[in-house]
Structure 1
Amino acid sequence: MTDTVATAPSRSIVTEIPGPNSRALLERKAAAVPQGIPHQLPVFIAEAHDAIITDVDGNRFIDLGCGIGVTTIGHTNDAVVAAVREQVGKLTHSLFGTTPYEPYVRVAEYLAKHTPGDFAKKTFFVNSGSEAVENGVKIARKFTGRRAVAVVEHGYHGRTNLTMTMNFKPAPYATGMGPLASDIFHAPGSYPLHDGLDGAEAAERTQYYLEKHVGVSDLACLVIEPIQGEGGFIVPADGYLPAMQEWCTANGVVMIADEVQSGISRTGATFASSLFGWEPDMVLSAKGIAGGMPLAGVTGRAEIMDSVHTGGIGGTFGGNPVSCAAAVAVFEQIEEHDLNAQAQRVERVLRPLLDELAERHEEIIEVRGRGAMLAIELVDPATGAPVPAAPISKACGEDGVLVLTAGTDYNVLRFLPSLAITDDQLREAVDVIDRAIASTKAA
Structure 2
Amino acid sequence: MPPLPPVHSIRTRMIVLFIVVTTTTLGAFGVHRHWLYQQELEQRFERTRIDVLEGLAQSLAEPTWALNVGILRTRLDSTLIHPEVVEACVFSPDGKETYATAGRPAYRDGPPCAAAGADDLLGQVVIYPPDNIDAGRRELSIGKAVVRFSRQPMHQALRAAMIQGLSEVAAIDVVLVLLLTFGLRMVFRPLEHLQRALFQLASRHGDEPEELGRIGRQEFDSVIDGFNQVLRKLKLIIAERTEAELTVRAAIQRSNNAFAQIQATQAELMEKNQQLETLSRTDQLTRVFNRRYLDEALIDALAGQSAFSIILLDVDRFKSINDNHGHQVGDRVLVEMAERIVGAKRPADIVGRWGGEEFLIICPDTGLEDAAAQAETLRHAVAAQDFSVMGAMTASLGVASYQPGDTIHGMISRADQALYEAKRRGRNRVQSGEVDAVVT
TM-score tier, shorter chain, comes to: under 0.3
TM-score for the superposition, normalised by structure 2: 0.18
TM-score for the superposition, normalised by structure 1: 0.18
Higher RCO, Cα 8 Å, sep 6+: 1
Q: Which has the higher helix share?
A: 2
Of structures 1 and 2, the larger Rg is shown by 2
